[in-house]
Every structure is written in C-alpha cells, then in structure tokens.
Amino acid sequence: MEPAEVSSLKSILGIARIVALVFMIIFLLAGLASLGVALAFAAVGFGGLGLVFAILPILFFVINLIIWMQVGEIRRMVDAGRYQEAKSKSLIWMILGFILGGLIIGILLLIAYLKFDPVINWQRQQQAGGQPPAQGGWVAPPPAAPPMAPPMAPVAATAPPAPAAGTCPRCGKPATWVAQYNRWYCYGCQQYV
C-alpha cells in the first residue's frame, strides 16, 4: 500500500531516534561520572571547577532527550500521514540537530527531510487519483428515464452541447456518454449536460 519511500523514511527516523537515545545514555553516564569527579573536586576544595564539567554532559543529555522526543513526534506525524507538518518539523530539528545533537543526528534528519518530497508527491497523487471512483459505488447511475425530455427538440440536432471531449460545462469533470439516450451525463452534477 505505502511506497518504499514511506517505509525508508520511517526507518531513518527510527535510526535517528536510536542514535539520540544512545547519546542520551552516554551523556547521562558521563554526567554521573563527572558528578562523581565534581564531588571529588569539592572534597579537595575545587567544587566550582568540577561542577562545570558535570553540567555540560547533563546539558547534552537534556538536548538529546528533547531531540529523541521530537523525532518521535515527527514519526507519529508520518504515521498519521501529516507529511507536510512532519517535513517542517524535521527541518527545524535537522538544524538544531546539527548544532546541538552532533553530526549524526543532523545528517539522519537531513536524509529524512529530503525523503519527504517524494512521499508528499505520492500522497497528492493518491488523493487526486482517489477522487473519481470509477465503479460508482456512491454515485447514482443515470436515471432510468431522462428527467425531462422535450419532445420537440430532436436529440440529434442538439446532441453534443458539450463537445469538449465529454466535459461537464458546470463542474468541469469528465462526463459519461450514455449511448442509450444519446447524451452526456455528469455524475458530479447528477444530470445530463
């Protein structure tokens, strides 16, 4: 059902999430280790210096936590088919990823960002192609008898009032030729054109 681009987009977002998670764990461990060092420094009277080293990994832990949550949000948007929204969000977090989250997350989100366009095009085609249901499950068939057939008007004389390859002049949708009545019928307007 969904094209390969959508599944590869989801995998890339999944990988970006895992990378952010790995960074989170690394920075958390580094933060805890630095905290230990900070306590050791404090014990010998250099508390302030140790604290500076502890703050940085904890800060990066928080940044990666936020990226991890945001990428999860982008994935939910993709799952819901809100590709345009997900694309804009990816752009923001790609830039922030490059600046704050390290090169890997930035590159992964860049790849994801570039994959949105084919996916969005595919979605547009799906929507455009899905509009006229040719089988006509929801559209009424042409009425058994034409609503009003003026007897004085010979059908052949006025037969093709819409000669533009069977297009409805009211709504512009393609009309259907009903050979039985020798007229064009528009399923959109549900009347003869």
For residues 83-142, which are near Zn ion according to CB under 5 A?
none
Whose Cβ is closer to Zn ion: residue 20's or residue 186's? Answer: 186
Output the six-digit token pair for 189: 């307007």
CB of 190 to Zn ion, least distance (A): 8
Measured at CB, which residue is nearest to Zn ion? 168
Alpha carbon distance 138, 136 (integer Å): 5
CB of 172 to Zn ion, least distance (A): 7
SS3 185: strand
CB of 106 to Zn ion, least distance (A): 51
CB of 165 to Zn ion, least distance (A): 14
Output the six-digit token pair for 130: 């899905």
For residues 145-184, which are near Zn ion according to CB under 5 A?
168, 170-171
Whose Cβ is closer to Zn ion: residue 41's or residue 185's? Answer: 185
Output the six-digit token pair for 79: 């799952």
Residue type for 25, please? I
**Candidate ranges 1-9, 29-37, 79-87, 185-193; the one touching Zn ion (CB under 5 A):** 185-193
Q: Is 188 in the site for Zn ion (CB under 5 A)?
A: yes
The footprint of Zn ion on this chain (CB under 5 A) covers a number of residues equal to 6
Q: Is 6 in the site for Zn ion (CB under 5 A)?
A: no
C-alpha to C-alpha distances, 156 to 117, 152, 183, 193, nearest whole angstrom = 50, 12, 9, 14
Q: Is 189 in the site for Zn ion (CB under 5 A)?
A: yes
CB of 184 to Zn ion, least distance (A): 10
Which residues on adjacent β-strands are paired with residue 106?
none
SS3 66: helix
Start-to-end CA distance of the chain, whole Å, equals 37
Output the six-digit token pair for 156: 């052949």
Q: Is 186 in the site for Zn ion (CB under 5 A)?
A: yes
DSSP character at residue 97: I
Interface ranges with Zn ion (CB under 5 A) = 168, 170-171, 186, 188-189
